[in-house]
């Protein structure tokens, strides 16, 4: 009887997880298959039929290798888990998978679909080089727990403050998704500077690494005169709450009365949603080290738009030289060229076309005597969509084609009024990637965690991002002159993206 088949891409994923993820290249592949099964079972909708069958370059696994069917227990911990797996799938699919040949066939088929979907999920959310154990923790456990965890450090904070020579009282605590904010009342108003200088010491006292900083918020806006402070203390990862993609959907679909290009990247430290208007930015840089959550952040920005807007409102130009992240958006009916641009030569051409488009639009605006696209659309004089250009890895693009910088700079200088906005992501925040003219014309900044204060300064013009907690923790300054805010990103997964894009099925012009 047919067993479980994978395809060539699945096999590559399995090998990469064993090699780079678990660091056990020789371990049995079934380890990965079981993780994939667990991941898929977390998704509430059943996996697609397309995952059936076998394909060239794939592999075949006997059921006994996956569930231990028919095996007797041995010292190495191998056992027959088949009944347990069968029971899980029966419950998940609401069918009897125990009795008869047909139900057995069905069981194997469902098992294959789940395993292959789980492998796909791993592929889209984890990359070799990222921390796989952290990934597992977040994907399999953290996302599943939403119970608030009590975490109260008040006494230790008082003691830690005393150690740096500050006498104070705690007047309250609020628990956000990852941070607890303690309101501290200073007995002596002149101790503000001592607190500020002593934050690292205080962190050490609380058992935090110097990387995970305590941030000081001036509560009553009086700066060094302040008597009431707020200390944002990061909590251990076990107590974090993930912000699921479903929240983003609610925000985007329930808030109709906001500017067209409003996006919701995440929540503030106390859990309140944050939003801003990309058109006001008017161009954004998203920077952070590998695995910090840039792509997930880009997905949140894109889904904010795609949950609300129609293809008549929005055109997307998607440039992804790494060829990994953006392919999922190809079904959106208004993707420039009908597909994600992966080739650097094509990207250059697309950017030059956009410069031409910008000139055409500028002329049109002048003819219609409107100041910008928003005004033209509001008055019914112009029907053109906004254009959002996403570059998934700016460094890769510029490294392979320095000429791409010129049209990028032109667009950042002039495209604002005509409704063309750039979102540039990079894992290499250095002056070569994000230099001079580009830098001064891209005022919107999102910094995910980085290694050094210098990298933080490249992205934000200030330090701080080196203290972030990773996994979508960010500092946000959507516009020049706006204050920098801390946010925890929405965890958008490929199932959220698929669900959203179902809106556009059959909508292709
Ligand atoms: N908002 C979030 N909430 C929880 N976990 C997150 C969040 N954002 C990212 N993560 C975790 O971090 C992992 C890496 O995220 P992502 O792929 O976006 O990183 P990246 O910065 O794009 O990395 P690279 O530079 O290698 O492309 C995700 O797979 C996920 O496990
Ligand atoms: Mg990425």
Does any ligand 1 atom lie closer than 6 A to the CB of residue 127? yes
What six digits make up the tokens of 200? 């690292």
pLDDT band at 405 (very low <50, low <70, confident <90, very high): very high
pLDDT of residue 235: 84
pLDDT band at 161 (very low <50, low <70, confident <90, very high): very high
Does any ligand 1 atom lie closer than 6 A to the CB of residue 317? no
pLDDT of residue 435: 80
Distance from Cα 373 to the centre of ligand 2, integer Å: 31
Which residue has the CA at smallest separation from atom 11 of ligand 1?
Answer: 471
pLDDT higher than 70, residue 144: no
Q: What is the DSSP string of 96-162?
A: --SSHHHHHHHHHHHHHHHHHHHHHHHHHH--BTB-HHHHHIIIIIGGG---------HHHHHHHHH
- Of the given ranges (68-72, 288-292, 330-334, 422-426), which has the lowest mean pLDDT? 68-72
Average pLDDT over residues 328-356: 93
> What's phi and psi for 134, nearest 5 deg?
-60, -40
Does any ligand 1 atom lie closer than 6 A to the CB of residue 242? yes
Average pLDDT over residues 452-460: 92
pLDDT higher than 60, residue 507: no
pLDDT higher than 90, residue 345: yes
Nearest-atom number in ligand 1 for the CA of 142 is 4
For 356, the 3-state DSSP assignment is helix
Average pLDDT over residues 127-139: 81
Choosing from 141, 291, 476 the residue with most ligand 1 atoms within 8 A of its CB, the one to mutate for a pocket test is: 291
pLDDT higher than 60, residue 151: no
Does any ligand 1 atom lie closer than 6 A to the CB of residue 288? yes
Domain locations along the chain: 4-144, 154-239, 243-504
pLDDT digits (tens, 9 = 90+) for 424-447: 999 988 887 788 888 899 999 999
Q: Which ligand is nearest to the CA of 178?
A: 1
Q: Return the CATH number of 154-239, one of 3.40.605.10, 2.60.40.1180, 3.30.980.40, 2.60.40.10.
A: 3.30.980.40
pLDDT digits (tens, 9 = 90+) for 335-344: 998 899 999 9
Share of the chain above pLDDT 90, in %: 55
CB 474 within 8 A of CB 459: no
Whole-number average pLDDT of the chain = 88
pLDDT of residue 250: 94
pLDDT digits (tens, 9 = 90+) for 266-291: 999 889 999 999 999 999 999 999 99
Average pLDDT over residues 150-159: 77
Average pLDDT over residues 386-396: 95
Return the higher-pLDDT residue of 422 and 135.
422
Share of the chain above pLDDT 70, in %: 93
- Of the given ranges (52-56, 336-340, 417-421), which has the lowest mean pLDDT? 52-56
pLDDT of residue 210: 63
- Parallel, antiparallel or unpaired: strands 228-234 and 485-491: unpaired
pLDDT of residue 472: 94
CB burial string 86-109: b at 16+ within 10 A, e below: bebbbebeeeebeeeeeeeebbbb
Going by C-alpha positions, the residue among 426, 401, 422 that lies closest to residue 317 is 422
pLDDT higher than 90, residue 75: no
Q: Return the CATH number of 243-504, one of 3.30.9.10, 3.40.50.720, 3.40.50.300, 3.40.1160.10.
A: 3.40.50.300
pLDDT digits (tens, 9 = 90+) for 211-259: 677 777 765 555 555 678 888 888 878 788 889 999 999 999 998 889 9
Does any ligand 1 atom lie closer than 6 A to the CB of residue 125? yes
Q: Which ligand is nearest to the CA of 21?
A: 1
Distance from Cα 291 to the centre of ligand 2, integer Å: 7
pLDDT higher than 80, residue 74: no
Give long-range contacts, CB 8 A cutoff, 24+ apart: 237-240.
Answer: 237/137, 237/142, 237/469, 238/142, 238/149, 239/149, 239/151, 239/178, 240/142, 240/177, 240/178
> What's phi and psi for 129, nearest 5 deg?
105, -30
CB 418 within 8 A of CB 373: yes
pLDDT of residue 190: 84
Distance from Cα 49 to the centre of ligand 1, integer Å: 28
pLDDT of residue 89: 94
pLDDT of residue 441: 93
- Of the given ranges (44-53, 241-250, 286-295, 401-410), which has the lowest mean pLDDT? 44-53
pLDDT higher than 90, residue 152: no
pLDDT band at 148 (very low <50, low <70, confident <90, very high): very low
Distance from Cα 263 to the centre of ligand 1, integer Å: 18
Which residue has the CA at smallest separation from atom 5 of ligand 1?
Answer: 471
Average pLDDT over residues 479-488: 89
Which residue has the CA at smallest separation from atom 27 of ligand 1?
Answer: 290
pLDDT of residue 506: 65
Nearest-atom number in ligand 1 for the CA of 288 is 21
């Amino acid at each position: 009887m047919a067993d479980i088949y994978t395809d060539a891409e699945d096999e590559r994923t399995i090998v990469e997880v064993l090699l780079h993820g678990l660091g056990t290249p020789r371990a049995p592949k079934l380890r990965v298959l079981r993780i994939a099964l667990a991941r898929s079972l977390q998704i509430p909708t059943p996996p697609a039929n397309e995952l059936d069958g076998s394909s060239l370059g794939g592999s075949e696994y006997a059921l006994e290798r996956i569930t231990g069917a028919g095996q007797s227990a041995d010292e190495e911990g191998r056992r027959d888990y088949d009944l347990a797996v069968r029971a899980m799938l029966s419950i998940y699919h609401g069918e009897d998978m125990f009795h008869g040949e047909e139900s057995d066939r069905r069981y194997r088929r469902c098992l294959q679909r789940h395993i292959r979907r789980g492998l796909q999920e791993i592929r889209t959310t984890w990359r070799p080089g990222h921390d796989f154990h952290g990934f597992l923790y977040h994907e399999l456990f953290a996302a599943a727990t939403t119970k608030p965890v009590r975490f109260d450090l008040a006494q230790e904070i008082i003691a830690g403050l005393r150690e740096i020579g500050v006498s104070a009282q705690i007047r309250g605590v609020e628990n956000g998704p990852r941070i607890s904010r303690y309101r501290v009342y200073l007995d002596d108003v002149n101790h503000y500077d001592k607190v500020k200088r002593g934050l690292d010491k205080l962190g050490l006292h609380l058992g935090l690494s110097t990387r995970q900083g305590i941030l000081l918020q001036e509560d009553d806006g009086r700066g060094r005169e302040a008597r009431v402070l707020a200390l944002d203390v990061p909590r251990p990862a076990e107590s974090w709450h993930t912000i699921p993609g479903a929240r983003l959907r609610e925000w985007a679909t329930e808030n109709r009365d906001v500017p067209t290009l409003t996006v919701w990247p995440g929540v503030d430290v106390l859990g309140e949603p944050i939003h801003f208007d990309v058109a006001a930015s008017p161009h954004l840089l998203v920077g952070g080290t590998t695995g910090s959550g840039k792509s997930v952040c880009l997905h949140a920005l894109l889904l904010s738009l795609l949950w609300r807007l129609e293809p008549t409102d929005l055109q997307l130009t998607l440039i992804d030289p790494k060829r990994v992240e953006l392919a999922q958006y190809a079904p959106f009916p208004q993707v420039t060229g009908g597909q994600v641009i992966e080739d650097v030569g094509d990207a250059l051409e697309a950017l030059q076309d956009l410069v031409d488009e910008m000139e055409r639009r500028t002329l049109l605006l002048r003819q219609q005597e409107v100041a910008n696209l928003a005004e033209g659309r509001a008055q019914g004089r112009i029907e053109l969509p906004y254009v959002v250009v996403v570059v998934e890895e700016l460094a890769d693009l510029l490294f392979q084609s320095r000429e791409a910088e010129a049209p990028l700079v032109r667009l950042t200088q002039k495209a604002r009024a005509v409704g063309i906005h750039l979102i540039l992501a990079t894992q290499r925040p250095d002056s070569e990637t994000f230099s001079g003219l580009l830098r001064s014309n891209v005022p919107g900044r999102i910094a995910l965690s980085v290694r050094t204060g210098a990298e933080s300064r490249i992205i934000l013009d200030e330090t701080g991002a080196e203290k972030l907690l990773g996994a979508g923790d960010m500092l946000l300054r959507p516009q020049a002159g706006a204050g920098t805010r801390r946010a925890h990103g929405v965890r958008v997964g490929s199932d959220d993206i698929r669900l959203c894009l179902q809106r556009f099925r059959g909508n292709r012009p």
